[in-house]
Structure 1
Amino acid sequence: MSDDAQPKSRRRRLTLDSAAVIVLATIAVLTAWCGFESSKWGGEMSIAFSQASSARVQASNYSSEARDARALDQGVWEQWVLATARGDTQLVTYIEQRFSPEFAVAFDAWTADGRTDRGPFVREEYVPPGTVQAKQLNDKADERYNTALTDNARGDNYSLLTVMFALVLFLTAMSQREIHRAARLGLLGTAVVFGVLGIVLLATFPIRI
């Protein structure tokens, strides 16, 4: 190798070494960031699953309350039907005065429409206590469950990106070995391509602080 070629070769090696150091430092930081974000989204997923489970339990309690109220109203309704069939107007009036507020609303609507429906229970006005709360909590549980699945997917995306950045680090480290310059350029170039692709993907991911 001529005297002029040696300085040029050293400059090229120094340039490759500097580029490799920049890639290593940048990707190392981004890898740590991906690990942090994956952990944060994993935590968000756990919280959302816990909230979904809690809402589901509360919804079940309200559903039980609604079933009990409906069963009680049905028992009173059966007595009303029997009294009506016997023509015992005094007992009918007595029973009607003891309808629950929710059933009384449906009964009045049923009567106002000429009692053409199969009974007050099929009326939309009949809403036993606990029905609304149960629906709201079930809707909340569904929403939090879907959020948990989304958070899980986001955490997985960051984990996969961590793997990609690990590949970049590996290729960059391999380019530092005493191998042919073309091989070094190929390894470092591939690392840069994957690194840029990873950065582009990272820019599209949501951030959780």
Structure 2
Amino acid sequence: MPEATATETERSVFWREMLIAVVMGLATLATGWSSYQSSLWGGIQTFRLADMGGIGREAAVKEVELGQQRVLELFMLERFLDAHEDGDERRAGFLFGRLPPELQAATRTWLDSHPKDNPEAARSPFQVKGYVQPGAAALAESRRKQDAAYAAADDANRISDSYVRITVFFGLVLFLAGISAVLKGRWPRRGLVAASVVILVVALFFLAQMPLAAG
């Protein structure tokens, strides 16, 4: 009987040590993988922020140019309306021809609505329905791309942080499994091994759900 008991004890120790080794090995591999992915997503965030900065600078330049263009258009339109009111068709035609085609069409529509006598008419050609300043669509697209780049950077940062949190759980698994290997008490040892296995399984489950970044 003592020999049988000793044999069972040796088997129990062997399988416990094997389980601890497997748990620690998986946790170590998963820690490396999680850290690698976190680093990749951090790099993606950096590139997305750089893209956002470049797009933002281009959008700022376009916005300034549009502002300057609007001032010039307003100046030309005022002079055209003055000449039109004075009946100076030659000067009015010259100034009208210098307006962008989009503003010319809006001005015709506005004048046809008889703004002096029609309270429902637009307050100016710039407010005529359907008028869009040339370049405004390109500026809006640049702003959209800037917002998209920021959203992508924020998403990459969130994913990177999630990988870091998962890495912490794998570190906890290594800690618990390592402590269980040196404990003498049977139940505290089994409890730590069981806890490390449960945490490892949960952490691996969440790791499997995470998006992957290409290296």
Using structure 2 for the length normalisation, give the TM-score. Answer: 0.91
Equivalent in the alignment of 2:3 = 3
1:122 aligns with 2:164: no
Q: Does residue 66 of structure 1 match 2:71?
A: no
Structure 1: distance between partners of 2:138 and 2:170: 48
CA contact (8 A) 1:69 1:128 kept: no
Residue 39 of structure 1, CA deviation: 0.5
Q: Tell me the residue number matched to 2:40.
A: 40
Pairs within 5 Å for 1:25-104: 25-104=25-104
Gaps in structure 2 of 5+ consecutive residues: 116-120
- Aligned letter for 2:187? A
Asked if 1:166 is matched to 2:184, the reply is no
| Structure 1 unaligned blocks of 5 or more | none
Percent of aligned pairs with the same residue?
Answer: 27
Using the size of structure 1 for normalisation, the TM-score is 0.93
Match of 2:3, SS state, is: coil
Rounded Cα–Cα distance in structure 2 between residues aligned with 1:104 and 1:84: 14
CA distance, structure 2, for counterparts of residue 9 and residue 100 of structure 1? 92
String of CA shifts for 1:7-39, please: whole Å, max 9, x gaps.
111111111000000111111101100001100
- Deviations 1:148-206, CA, capped at 9 Å, x for gaps: 11110000000000000000000000111041121111111000010011011111111
Q: Distance in 1 between matches of 2:151 and 2:73?
A: 36
In the TM superposition, residue 114 of structure 1 has moved relative to its aligned partner by 4.1
Letter in 2 for 1:23: V
Could you list the per-position Cα deviations for residues 50-74 of structure 1 after superposition, in whole angstroms to 9, with x for gaps in the alignment? 1111111111111111111111110
Of 198-207 and 160-169, deviating more is 198-207
Name the structure 2 match of 1:138.
143
Which is worse superposed, 31-40 or 79-88?
Answer: 79-88
- Taking the aligned partners of 1:32 and 1:93, their CA distance within structure 2 comes to 74
CA RMSD of aligned residues (A): 1.7
Aligned length: 209
1:203 pairs with 2:208: yes
Give 3-state SS (helix, strand or coil) of 2:99's partner.
Answer: coil
| Residue type at the aligned position of 1:29 | L
1:189 and 2:194 matched:
yes
Secondary structure of the structure 1 residue equivalent to 2:2 = coil
CA distance in 2, matches of 1:148, 1:127: 31
- The one-letter code of the counterpart of 1:193 is V
Give the Cα–Cα distance (whole angstroms) in 1 for the partners of residues 195 and 94 of structure 2. Answer: 87
